[in-house]
Structures are given as structure tokens and as C-alpha cells.
Amino acid sequence: MKASKKRSYLLLVACAALFLGASSLRAFDDGFSYDRKFEGKYVTVYCAPGLDLPRLAPQLNILPTDAILAGRPWKAGDPTDGELAPMLDTLFVQVSDILDMHLESFKTDIKICGTDKELAGIYKLLFGKDLEGHRAFYIYDLNTIYVAPDAFRQGAVGHEMSHAIISHYFDVSAPSRVQEVLSLYVEDSLKKKT
């Protein structure tokens, strides 16, 4: 009986440590500041101050048919700031369909940086090394996609979304090379669609 209590206590301590570790990771300061936030079903979008959102939304190239096929309503006219999250939700469904990996209760953050320099600074803070030419990246531990404004396009964002989906779809994480091949496949499939 005493050994059983000890195991229960150790399990409780381990769970608490795991929970506190996960909570502190979410509170980690990545150096990103934002002035606008949009909530979608699958994404929460954080926008750096000064971004021209009416210019960014069309870069995603989400068509009315894409939204309809993803089971989302489509509003006619130019996209407004508030439509950014639904457009990214539509892209998320497209990427899930391409991968044939569906995560109904999944949600990820997308942080749109103001400049390439800001993106590189966040990467340097997180990893202690230079970004080396990438314009977007996904961090599993933070469940966050970071993207430069000029890279905010369907292929690049879809590529990073695929990393998020693949990382959370399997109980055991797929090797990074396998993830990259699948992510390149998603990016190529999205480019062929447009």
C-alpha cells in the first residue's frame, strides 16, 4: 500500500511539473508585439503594428470557391481586416484536405511580423542563430507560425500550417525530413491550384 501511495504522489508531481512547464512555455516572451488580434476556428492571428491588412489578405489568394468547399460562407467585395482569420481557417481546411489529416479541435497562432528584420530577430531570440533566408517558420513548442509580411502568401503559410498539422496529428512526431517533404508537397499543391 505504501509503494502505491508513493507512485501516486510521484505521478501527481510529474503531472504538475508538466502542466507548469507547458503553462510557462505559453507565457514565453518571443519579442513579438501586436496591435490587432483576430480569432478563427483554427487560427488566432496576431498582427504587428502598422501592417497594411487590406493588402495582406488578397495575398492569400483565397477564392470564393475555396471558402465554399471548406464549408465557410463567402462575403462579396474586398476583404476587410476581420476576414483574415476566416480566410486562414479556409486555408487550414485546404491544407488538412491535401494532407488528409483532419484535426477538428486544433488551434494554432499565426504571428505576422512587421518586417523581415523583426522575423529574424524573433528567430535569433528563440534559437540563438540567424534565420538564413527563411521568411516563415513554425515552432511546435509554442504552437505558433511566424511569417514576414511579404511571405504572407498561400504557399508559404500553407507550408507552415502543414508543419503544425503534421506535428499534432501523430502521437509520435514524424521526422523533420518527412515533415518537410509533406510540407513541400502541400506548398506545390497549393501553387498548382492557383
> Which pLDDT band, with edges at 50, 70 and 90, does 75 fall under?
low
Whether the pLDDT of residue 66 is over 70: the answer is yes
User: Which phi and psi angles does 47 have, rounded to 5°?
Assistant: -115, 130
Ramachandran assignment for 21, one of left (phi > 0), alpha (psi -120 to 50 degrees), beta (any other): alpha
Alpha carbon 38 to chain centroid distance?
Answer: 13
Q: Mean pLDDT across the stretch 77-101?
A: 84
Asked if residue 78 has pLDDT above 70, the reply is no
Q: Which helix (H) or strand (E) holds 47?
A: strand 43-47
**Closest C-alpha among 102, 73, 68, 61 to residue 192:** 61
CB 125 within 8 A of CB 101: no
Q: What is the pLDDT of residue 180?
A: 95
Residue 27 has pLDDT above 80, yes or no: no
Phi, psi values for residue 146, rounded to 5°: -110, 135
State the pLDDT confidence band at 4, using cuts at 50, 70 and 90.
low
Rounded CA-CA distance 34/123 in Å is: 17
Mean pLDDT of 92-119: 94
Entry pTM? 0.80
- At residue 15, the pLDDT reads 42
Quick check: 164 pLDDT over 90?
yes
The proportion of the chain whose per-residue pLDDT surpasses 70, expressed as a percent, equals: 79
pLDDT, average across residues 50-69: 84
**SS3 of residue 68 by DSSP:** helix
Dump pLDDT digits (tens) for 123-149.
999 999 999 888 999 999 999 999 999
Residue 7 has pLDDT above 80, yes or no: no
Question: What is residue 152's predicted lDDT score, i.e. its pLDDT?
Answer: 95
In the chain, where are the structural domains located?
Answer: 1-30, 31-193
Q: How many Å apart are CA 9 and CA 6, to the nearest integer? A: 5
Where residue 62 falls among pLDDT bands split at 50, 70, 90? confident
Res 182 pLDDT > 90:
yes
Of 3.40.30, 2.60.120, 3.30.70, 3.60.90, which CATH number belongs to 31-193? 3.40.30
For all residues of the chain together, what is the average pLDDT? 83
Examine the pLDDT at 24 and tell me if it is beyond 70. no
d(CA 52, CA 45): 14
Q: What residue has cell string 498539422?
A: 165
